[in-house]
Structure 1
Amino acid sequence: MADFFKLYSDYYRVPGEYTFKGVYYASYVRKEVLERPDIFKIKPDDCFVVSYPKSGTTWTLELAQLIMNKGDTSHTESAHHFDRVPYIEYYYPKFPQWDGLKLMEGLKSPRLLKSQLPLHLFPPQALEMGCKMIFVARNPKDVAVSYYHFYQTVPEYGDYKGQFSDFLKMFMNKKVVHGDWFDFVLDWWKYIKDNNVLFLKYEDMIKNPRAATMKIANYLNYDLSDDVIDRITDYCSFDKMKANKVVNFEEIEGHEFIRKGQKGDWRNHFTVAESEAFDKIYEERMKDSGLSFEW
């Protein structure tokens, strides 16, 4: 079945690509922090949101930050999302103000940080300190579709014009930025089961946004009133986040960072044969993991 997604040697490559310890990266992921994770100055009260790309990271971060600010939206509205919650491993030459390392150092504690590093490349000191960690995951078919559209809009990924079928082959062969979804999620899942990590499924968050807000607040030990929980949930609704210029990135690059956010959009992109082949690989890779997703 793997032959169904056979990838030819002329597959699309992002500018400045490199592979580090089996994970495919673009140049904006700083190689020096992968080589020297001790470069991160982690604090015991740091809180991390971790995810594979296009899994609900931004939504989760906005919820967490508003909870940590007890519902006060003034900071959220006055500063761009990337200024408030830096990707610790990222550096964009075009946007030097979003240097993850420098932004980390300038934030007041408790800091909210984000990362898309796999477990084996994540700063071990954060794990050893027992930092609060929120992990959000989404079903891989919808991830692949969302990531495909993302590839077409992000300058750091070059000028990708390929068809979804071509992108899906890259996705299934670990040749998209941040590597293999299965490796990423399953390695973290094994760690999460034995450690104090809040695990959220994107599909559950869509189904009951208020429950997701409550889970995050309880995990972070914030006792908020029902009114504040309601206001945070409403403020972070999909439509309001999509319209929020300091979250959706549109005013910087001219494209929308937040696209549809739907569950099941994969049905509009996968062929029947692609879906069936994907399902067989999914069943094999996820077998005995105890982890499942809604499609």
Structure 2
Amino acid sequence: MRSTSRSCFPKEWLLLLKRQSAIPGFEQRPSRQFRATMLDNMCKLVDGFLVNDFLHDDNVRSALNYRAKAGDLFVISYPKCGTTWTQYISFCILNKGQPPEDYTDFMLRSPFMELLGAESVHRMSGPGAIKTHFPFNRQPYHPQSKYIYVTRNPYDCCVSYFHHVRDSPVYNYADATFDMFLDVFVQGKVSCGDYFDHLLSWYEHRNDPNVLLITYEGLKEDTAASVLQIADFIGNEHGDELRRDPALYAKITDMVSASSMRKAFSEGIKSIIPSLLALPPEKALKSVEVYRKVLSKKRMASAKSEFIRKGVVGDWRNYFKPEHIEKMKAFIALKTQGSDVMNLWADAGLP
């Protein structure tokens, strides 16, 4: 991590590491080269919240301190669990099937607050959802705001996160192996911390009237039904409109398919910061200027990352060897004692 590594790890982690040492095949300390890159350079703490090193402290801090207000709509998840997909579904519903001009337009109208800071929310140019990766206890909250939390089974999340870390320019670690990544994943030494700490913080609020908890698997299994569920949650008028207008309902369902989203998000993460930096003064965000100095054109150009990689359920089977499954099952058992959260995937065919 960027600051002294000992000060960055909370005492709670040290206690967890002692318990995790009993996990079969668990490696508390990955290879020295991997630790130096992944653990010392990949993440940092900003006001106690673990984020990837690319994000600017001021933007993360302003996001943490944003005061939610009545009418705000947030889409939240642990990384690589379907945030962008759910965010785009919400956008298409709110904008009655009219797509954004391009990905930059989408980001201005439906911003990722940790990346762009609270300024991006104050200057939102149209109806859209605010994206965050905050656990419930760090999420800006207002009883009259609405919160859509999307989660994904830990196996597929881990695989998708692995590809994101390996291919994304904000991490830039092309030599990572799945063995190495799984070790830091179960330790919670990745951006946004521990998968289950994050999920359980929201799962406890799944029945709150202003919280909708959905799964990536549910979105994939019946996208049309999920679109209607999200529309009803955003506001009954949106769900009623889709029921009255089957053509609009079908259009939005098609717009949010994996193939359509790949086309809509073809710029991906490679060009979003340069595009935002190139905006005319009347649209430019001051909060983006902090990335001008740290942006490496070579680093961004060499990236392979895509927001929509495969868009499938069950890709974990292509990566998890028996020893990986054993490690993940032990991690799940450790973190979910006394909770029925894994019932979310009772029919998903998990080990």
Query: Shorter-chain TM-score: which interval?
Result: 0.7 to 0.9
Provide the identity percentage: 29
Moved more, 183-192 or 32-41: 32-41
* 1:202–1:137 distance in 2 versus 1, CA, 3 Å: same
Moved more, 40-49 or 14-23: 14-23
Indicate conservation of the 8 Å contact 1:14/1:157, yes or no: no
Match of 2:43 in 1: 17
Indicate conservation of the 8 Å contact 2:265/2:307, yes or no: no
Match of 2:177 in 1: 163
Moved more, 39-48 or 199-208: 39-48
**Alignment partners' CA distance in 1, 2:194 and 2:225:** 30
Measure how far apart 1:278 and its partner are.
1.1
Q: CA RMSD in A?
A: 2.5
Residue 234 (structure 1) aligned to one of 246, 249, 254: 254
- Report the residue type matching 2:88 in the other structure: E
What do the CA deviations read for 1:72-115 (whole angstroms, capped 9, x no partner)?
22x3547443233211122xxxxxxxx23222121146542000
What do the CA deviations read for 1:33-75 (whole angstroms, capped 9, x no partner)?
66566742433111000001111111111110010011222x3
Match of 1:258 in 2: 308
Residue 281 (structure 1) aligned to one of 322, 328, 331: 331
What do the CA deviations read for 1:147-196 (whole angstroms, capped 9, x no partner)?
11111122221334121001000000111111110100011111233442
Larger Rg belongs to: 2
Equivalent residues in 2 for 1:194-213, closer than 5 Å: 194-213=208-227
- Report the residue type matching 2:225 in the other structure: A
Moved more, 280-289 or 258-267: 280-289
Indicate conservation of the 8 Å contact 1:80/1:246, yes or no: no
* 1:80–1:14 distance in 2 versus 1, CA, 3 Å: farther
Match of 1:95 in 2: none
Measure how far apart 1:257 and its partner are.
2.4
Higher relative contact order (CA 8 A, sep 6+): 1
Indicate conservation of the 8 Å contact 1:14/1:158, yes or no: no
Indicate conservation of the 8 Å contact 2:95/2:127, yes or no: no
Indicate conservation of the 8 Å contact 1:50/1:134, yes or no: yes
Measure how far apart 1:16 and its partner are.
6.5
Measure how far apart 1:19 and its partner are.
2.8
Residue 175 (structure 1) aligned to one of 171, 183, 189: 189
Match of 2:112 in 1: 87
Measure how far apart 1:261 and its partner are.
1.4
**Alignment partners' CA distance in 2, 1:78 and 1:267:** 32
Match of 2:130 in 1: 113
Indicate conservation of the 8 Å contact 1:88/1:114, yes or no: yes
Indicate conservation of the 8 Å contact 1:241/1:248, yes or no: no
Moved more, 158-167 or 51-60: 158-167
Indicate conservation of the 8 Å contact 1:46/1:110, yes or no: no
- Report the residue type matching 2:45 in the other structure: T
- TM-score when normalising by structure 2: 0.73
Moved runs in structure 1, 4+ residues, more than 6 A? none
Match of 1:62 in 2: 88
What do the CA deviations read for 1:190-220 (whole angstroms, capped 9, x no partner)?
1233442111110011110101100011111
**Alignment partners' CA distance in 2, 1:197 and 1:233:** 22
Match of 2:117 in 1: 100
Measure how far apart 1:132 and its partner are.
1.0
Equivalent residues in 2 for 1:65-80, closer than 5 Å: 65-73=91-99, 75=100, 77=102, 79-80=104-105
Measure how far apart 1:2 and its partner are.
2.4
Equivalent residues in 2 for 1:117-196, closer than 5 Å: 117-123=134-140, 127-196=141-210
* 1:175–1:84 distance in 2 versus 1, CA, 3 Å: same
- Report the residue type matching 1:120 in the other structure: N
Q: How many residues align?
A: 283
- TM-score when normalising by structure 1: 0.86
Indicate conservation of the 8 Å contact 1:24/1:174, yes or no: no
Gaps of 5+ in 2: 1-21, 273-299
SS of the residue aligned with 2:131?
Answer: strand
* 1:50–1:14 distance in 2 versus 1, CA, 3 Å: farther
* 1:279–1:3 distance in 2 versus 1, CA, 3 Å: closer
